[in-house]
Amino acid sequence: MRVTICAVGRLRAGPEHELISDYLQRFDRTGRALGLGPARVVEVEDKKNLGMAAEAELLARALPAGALIVALDERGRLQSSPEFAADLAGWRDKGRQDLAFVIGGADGIYPALRDRADASLSFGRMVWPHMLVRVMLAEQLYRAASILSGAPYHRA
């Protein structure tokens, strides 16, 4: 199951970029034997500053055709890492070819796109910077693959 992270904004070189690259490489290595991956990040940018609706249109165009869509949203479902791993395995086992995570810009995800999502995930009730959410998601993807493979990375 291919994984695409569709996100608003361009991530410059720096610690966040390095962390995302590292965790997604780990996810690809660990997930390959599990039928998970590869993972990639697709960035979109509203250069004309037209707002959330324009961002949503760009995000929608970046989604792989037929992908299961998961919106990252503070109103989404709170879950543990093992629950997240179980969701990934379940989607894979149901034959999903593509999984797309959507991360909005500073104002979040436009309601029409958020409503179109098959699932909604929250990293807590606090609002996180959208660039940091990418790092957190990449790490949780790797953690999920580690959990599913029985590796000792997750020690809860």
pLDDT of 128 > 90? The answer is: no
Residue 48 has what pLDDT?
83
Per-residue pLDDT tens digits for 41-89: 999 998 888 889 999 999 999 999 999 999 999 999 999 999 999 999 9
Signed CA dihedral, 30, 81, 42, 133: sign only: negative
Residue-wise DSSP of 4-19: EEEEESPPPSSHHHHH
pLDDT of 155 > 80? The answer is: no
Share of the chain above pLDDT 90, in %: 82
Q: How many CB atoms lie within 10 A of CB 21?
A: 13
Residue 128 lies in a domain: yes
pLDDT of 154 > 80? The answer is: no
Residue 156 has what pLDDT?
66
- Are 37 and 148 in contact by the 8 Å Cβ rule? The answer is no
Mean pLDDT over each residue of the chain, to the nearest integer = 94
Phi, psi of 77 (to 5 degrees): -75, 130
Which two tokens mark 26?
């780990």
Residue 102 lies in a domain: yes
- Are 6 and 124 in contact by the 8 Å Cβ rule? The answer is no
Which residues share a beta bridge with 3? 39, 99
Residue 126 has what pLDDT?
86
Domain that residue 72 falls in: 2-149
Give the C-alpha separation, 104 to 37, whole Å.
22
Residue 153 has what pLDDT?
81
- Are 131 and 18 in contact by the 8 Å Cβ rule? The answer is no
Residue 108 lies in a domain: yes
Residue 155 lies in a domain: no
Model pTM?
0.95
Residue 154 lies in a domain: no
Give the C-alpha separation, 141 to 121, whole Å.
13
Please state the length of the chain.
Answer: 156
Query: 114: domain CATH number?
Result: 3.40.1280.10
Residue 13 lies in a domain: yes
Looking at 63-129, list the stretches that DSSP marks H as alpha helix, in order from N- to C-terminal side.
81-93, 111-116
pLDDT of 152 > 90? The answer is: no
Residue 55 has what pLDDT?
95
Question: Count of domains in the chain?
Answer: 1
